[in-house]
A = this chain, B = another copy of it.
């Protein structure tokens, strides 16, 4: 079995011990660079990130792992009870979480359940909305079956928008969540990318991205229920 990636390095003793007892091989790393160096040829089986001691480092690593061409899955987060409120805005950064201090058997049960789910591919690698389809594995986009030739940023922006249909985002929010939290640049950059996306979507589908004046942009129609 491929090893699990652990954060931080060294990992908490009780975590290492639980994995050893369960027969799960693992390697630890403190950042994305160290994770790349330690990564075996077969790749990682998944990752377990402890966010209780160094939340910033933990979430930064999660973000890096998810930004890869082939996002690392499954990703299990270990948090303390006081951090539960921080999870809501980071839902896309992990697949499951476990409260620390954890019971070894709960950890193992969650790992098994995660492997079961990812093994059957129940987690969608596609983002779909109407005639639009994004293949997250091959980095390809298509509408009405016809492929779209998108650049990297166009693809990332469209992926984010299509993942949250109906919701309005300000330019600042888009910059921070698509370009990155540390990005500093003009907000008009968003406009230009929106324009090119509309152009490539074609006249018929350009209205998939709507302008909400003095607020930002919205993808698709509103969902009143769920």
Instruction: Compute how far the CA of A123 lies from the CA of B119 in the bound complex, rounded to whole angstroms.
Output: 11
Q: Which of A177-226 contact B (CB under 8 A)?
A: 212-215, 218, 222-226
State whether B212 touches A139 (Cβ < 8 A): yes
Closest CB of chain B to A133's CB: distance in Å? 7
The answer, among B87, B116, B135, for a CB contact under 8 Å with A222, is B135
Instruction: Compute how far the CA of A201 lies from the CA of B164 in the bound complex, rounded to whole angstroms.
Output: 28
State whether B81 touches A151 (Cβ < 8 A): no
State whether A168 touches B138 (Cβ < 8 A): yes
The answer, among B91, B122, B137, B224, for a CB contact under 8 Å with A112, is B91
Closest CB of chain B to A151's CB: distance in Å? 7
Closest CB of chain B to A145's CB: distance in Å? 8
State whether A167 touches B138 (Cβ < 8 A): yes
Closest CB of chain B to A160's CB: distance in Å? 13
Instruction: Compute how far the CA of A126 lies from the CA of B126 in the bound complex, rounded to whole angstroms.
Output: 29
Instruction: Compute how far the CA of A139 lies from the CA of B214 in the bound complex, rounded to whole angstroms.
Output: 11
Instruction: Compute how far the CA of A122 lies from the CA of B151 in the bound complex, rounded to whole angstroms.
Output: 30
Binary flags per residue of A88-107, CB closer than 8 Å to B gives 1, else 0: 10011001110100010110
* Category for how many chain A residues contact B: 35 or more
Closest CB of chain B to A127's CB: distance in Å? 9
State whether A140 touches B222 (Cβ < 8 A): yes
The answer, among B120, B122, B139, B223, for a CB contact under 8 Å with A124, is B223
- Chain B neighbourhood of A92, CB < 8 A: 116
- Chain B neighbourhood of A152, CB < 8 A: 212-215
Would you mind naming 14 contact pairs between A and B with Cβ atoms under 8 Å apart?
A81-B103, A84-B108, A84-B109, A85-B105, A85-B109, A87-B113, A91-B112, A91-B117, A97-B109, A138-B167, A139-B218, A140-B222, A151-B213, A152-B212
* 5 closest Cβ pairs, A-B complex: A91-B116, A120-B226, A138-B222, A152-B214, A84-B105
Q: A2-B225, A88-B112 are in contact. List 14 more A-B contacts (CB 8 A).
A: A2-B226, A45-B226, A81-B105, A81-B106, A85-B109, A87-B112, A96-B96, A99-B106, A121-B226, A135-B224, A138-B166, A138-B222, A139-B218, A152-B215
